[in-house]
Structures are given as structure tokens and as C-alpha cells.
Amino acid sequence: MRYLPLTADDRTRMLGVIGAADIDALFVDVPAAARKKDVFDLPRHAGELEVERELAALSAMSRSAGAGPFFCGAGAYRHHVPATVDHIIQRSEFLTSYTPYQPEIAQGTLQVLFEFQTQVAALTGLDVANASMYDGSTACAEAVMMAKRVTRREKAILSGGLHPHYAATTQTIAHAEGMNIVRQGAAIDAEAAVIDAIDAETACVVVQTPNVFGVVTDVTKIAEAAHAAGALLIVVTTEVVSFGLLKSPGEMGADIAVAEGQSIGNALNYGGPYVGLFAVREKLVRQMPGRVCGETLDADGRRGFVLTLSTREQHIRRDKATSNICTNSGLCALAFTIHMTLLGGAGLRQLAQVNHSRARELKAAVEAVGLEVLTPRFFNEIAVRVPGAAAALVEALLGDGVIAGVPYSRLDPHAGLDDILLLAATETTTSEDIAALSAALIRRLGQ
């Protein structure tokens, strides 16, 4: 077998050194009733060619996003990732290294994490960021639990524009910890409605901008209201390219910013792995979950980086830790850092402008076929009202080779918003794609 270096002769000689009669002698502690003599009822080993053929056949069964006009967003976005990114993350020294517990021989990973943290802090307009979370949704749940630790209050208010999967993840995890999660009804342009729900029990309010309907909101007033009541403001962003153009969460008064970082450096991957961004104000850093990399000196006085503030973490604090997270999204954070380094602030600004421009083109095209666009202020995503069920329309448009976005009902079937379709455009969306969508809509809607 190609992944196993030991030969039969090696095994015999090694058993001799150990003083064991055979391999079974090493499994002697397994209860006899649980020792399986036979090979399990699964296929036997296969050569590389055979496995590659099977996987290629499975891959070919799906219609990839890039195979034609495509308008899905709602928390994951198809962007162009420079070839350099994927080349570097496949270098052995990054791909096949562990969490950097031995900093003397992990400075590569550690310096990247320090750069990542600095980039995330700058993008979110906050002071410090951690070394990544699993994804945006789990980062959101962790932020809510962090707010409980900071404020010693148990109520969290989630806006009606928060991505329903984020709300569900937060409800599941924070509820288990005994928090009272108040989720406002789905609303396209009502992030500020959380203000009326803030009371003296409120640990945090969670708002999203651009929200799941694509609406951009200045949350400054929400921050003021939250702070006046002693609560924290958590700002969620699922499209981080928007940080290139829009006011940052920190600039608007957020205490914690969480985001899905997939858009920069990472493929769609059918939902994962992604990379959660988590940034806070300096004074909150010791309640932050997750790994953190910090600057220090070595024995010769040279600058170096280490994992630090580990007294917050599970391997030291066990049941008193700020989170149970261990493995995070290191390689996805590396991809983010490389892509962000290539872009720079200037490139990100330009990329954001192109995204916004394509979305303006998309909006005009949708309005031209007579559909109502419900998103008053958008970055690269809009909510559109369609006649009938959006899900049925998306299925119908597949017949024209167009993947026409995400029906809101898929995210939240109980909201009564079955006629809402979410459409996103990025720099990968061409004018031809938009024309194809328009033509298909005209054909299906009979206009």
C-alpha cells in the first residue's frame, strides 16, 4: 500500500525487538468480544488512478458555479482567487505543519497569523483579532457567549436581518449555555429595530451589515443605544469584500466584529472549510475566544511570535476556558492573508468598487424586467420580489442554464417570505451573465 512504508520484513524484525509474537499480541488489551478478525464489509484498497476516476466522476455529477451564469450569495461568495494563493498554501511547510506549539520551528505559521490578525483588525476597524474561528456563524455564536462573560448578563437580541443560519447556530449554542436569545422577525431593512428591544438585562445586540437581504446599515445609532444600556454591539458581516468600501464595524461603534472571511482567498467548497474572523476592542481581549498570536523576543533578543494569552484556552483552563475551540482554520487564514497581501488596501478598495458596480448593473437589469428590488442600500447583493415562489423560479431558471440566486425560503421557510429571491454579483459576474439572467427571467415570467 502506497502510504505505508513498512515491509513485511520490517514488521517481523520490529516485533522481534518488541518481544511480541505477532501483531495480535499488541492488541491484547482489547476485549475478545470486540476484536474483529475479518476485514470490514467495505471496498478494498485502490490505486491512485482508480480513486481519481471515482472522484472525477462524482465531481462531474454536479454543476459547478463557474460553469455558467450564477448569482448565489447569502453568506458565501464566488470570487476570483489569484493562482499564487493556492500555490503557497500547498507548500509542505504550511500544509503539513501542526498548530504552532513549538514557536522556534513554527515562525512561518506564527508570523502569518500575526499578519492575519493585523489585517483583520484593520479591516474591521477594531484593535485586536484572534487567529481565526471555524467560520462566520460559529464566530457569531462565540461572540454572543463572550458578551455574556463581559457583561454578566444573559439576554442577546438578534436582528431580523441576521443570516438565519447564523441566528440558528447562535440559538443552538448560546441557548445551551443558558442564554436567552431573542430573535426578531425577518425584516429587510430594520436593523435599528433592535434598539427598542434593549433593556437592562441585555448582554448584546447582534446586527448584520450588509445584512442577509443585502441591506447596508450605518449602525452608529445602534451602538450608542447599546452602550447607553451597558450592552455590547456585535456586528456581523458575511461579505468581507465590503470592508473595502463600507464604514468598518469599529468606526461605527462595534465592540465585537465577526465575519465570514471566505470571500478573500477561499473557494466556495460547498460550505466549508471557511474562516471566521473575530475582532474586539483592546479592553475585551482577555475574554476573547480562540488562539491568539503575539509578538515577543527570543533568547538572543530577536523579534519572534508565539501563541499567547493561553490562560483563556481549554488546554490550560479546561472547564474554565473562554471556549472549547482547539483546531481552527489556520490554512484558510493563510489563504486570506496571502490574497489580502496581494490586494492591499488599494486593491481591496478597487475590488469592492467593481463588486458594487456589477451589483448596480444587476439591479438595473432586474428592474428592467419589471421586478421589484427591495434592498434600498446594497453592496453586492439585492433582495428581489418575484411573482410566486422564488424557489420554483430558481428551479425553472435552471432549465435556461442560470443559477438565479438563493430563495430566502431556503434559509428560513417559516418567515412567510417565499417570494423573496436573493441575488449577488461579484467581479466574476459578467455582463453576459446578467444578460442571460434577464433573458431567462423574461422568458419565464412572460414579460
**Residue 334 in the binding site for other proteins (CB under 8 A):** yes
Phi, psi of 168 (to 5 degrees): -65, -40
**Residue 152 in the binding site for other proteins (CB under 8 A):** no
One of 171, 184, 202, 375 touching other proteins (CB under 8 A): 171
One of 149, 151, 155, 247 touching other proteins (CB under 8 A): 247
- Whether cis (ω within 30° of 0) applies to the bond prior to 249 is no
Three-class SS of residue 373? strand
**Residue 362 in the binding site for other proteins (CB under 8 A):** no
Pick the closer one to other proteins by CB: 230 or 311.
Answer: 311
C-alpha cell at 126: 477594531
One of 269, 283, 370, 447 touching other proteins (CB under 8 A): 269
Contact 173, 165 (CB under 8 A): no
CB of 274 to other proteins, least distance (A): 8
Pick the closer one to other proteins by CB: 160 or 290.
Answer: 290
Pick the closer one to other proteins by CB: 410 or 443.
Answer: 410
**Residue 21 in the binding site for other proteins (CB under 8 A):** no
| Cell 427598542 -> residue | 196
One of 159, 328, 375, 426 touching other proteins (CB under 8 A): 328
Question: Which listed range, 148-156, 188-196, 367-375, 391-399, lies at the site for other proteins (CB under 8 A)?
Answer: 391-399
Could you give the CA distance from residue 186 to residue 422 in angstroms, rounded to a whole number? 14
Pick the closer one to other proteins by CB: 195 or 285.
Answer: 285
* CA of residue 327 relative to chain centroid, distance: 15
**Residue 357 in the binding site for other proteins (CB under 8 A):** yes
C-alpha cell at 60: 462531474
CB of 112 to other proteins, least distance (A): 6
Pick the closer one to other proteins by CB: 26 or 228.
Answer: 26
One of 326, 368, 435, 442 touching other proteins (CB under 8 A): 326
C-alpha cell at 119: 489585517
Pick the closer one to other proteins by CB: 300 or 432.
Answer: 300
**Residue 207 in the binding site for other proteins (CB under 8 A):** no
Q: What stretch of H or E contains 157? A: strand 155-158
Q: Which amino acid is located at 418 in the chain?
A: D
Q: What stretch of H or E contains 206? A: strand 202-208
**Residue 347 in the binding site for other proteins (CB under 8 A):** yes
**Residue 348 in the binding site for other proteins (CB under 8 A):** yes
One of 79, 148, 155, 165 touching other proteins (CB under 8 A): 165
CB of 371 to other proteins, least distance (A): 18
Sign of CA dihedral 153, 155, 160, 165: positive
CB of 430 to other proteins, least distance (A): 10
For the beta sheet containing 232-237, the strands, ordered from the edge strand earlier in sequence to the opposite edge, are: 128-129, 276-280, 256-260, 232-237, 202-208, 155-158, 180-183
- Give the contact letters, 97-136, x = binds to other proteins (CB under 8 A), - = no: xxxxxxxxxxxxx-xxxxx-xxx-xxx-x-xxx-xx-xxx
**Residue 19 in the binding site for other proteins (CB under 8 A):** yes
One of 143, 188, 194, 343 touching other proteins (CB under 8 A): 343
CB of 370 to other proteins, least distance (A): 21
One of 178, 200, 432, 446 touching other proteins (CB under 8 A): 178
Q: What stretch of H or E contains 360? A: helix 330-368
Q: Which of 101, 173, 163 is nearest to 326 (CA)?
A: 101
| Other CB atoms within 10 A of residue 14 CB | 11
**Residue 256 in the binding site for other proteins (CB under 8 A):** no
Binders of other proteins among residues 26 to 85 (CB under 8 A) are 26-31, 33-36, 39-48, 51-52, 54-67, 70, 72, 74-76, 78, 82, 84
Judged by CB under 8 A, the number of residues near other proteins is 208
Q: What stretch of H or E contains 147? A: helix 136-151
Contact 254, 235 (CB under 8 A): yes
Binders of other proteins among residues 271 to 310 (CB under 8 A) are 271-273, 275, 285, 291-300, 302, 304-306, 308-310
Residues 397-414 as b/e (b if ≥16 CB within 10 A, e otherwise) read beebebbbbbbbbebbee
The one-character DSSP state at 149 is H
**Residue 435 in the binding site for other proteins (CB under 8 A):** no
Could you give the CA distance from residue 194 to residue 177 in angstroms, rounded to a whole number? 22
Contact 447, 370 (CB under 8 A): yes
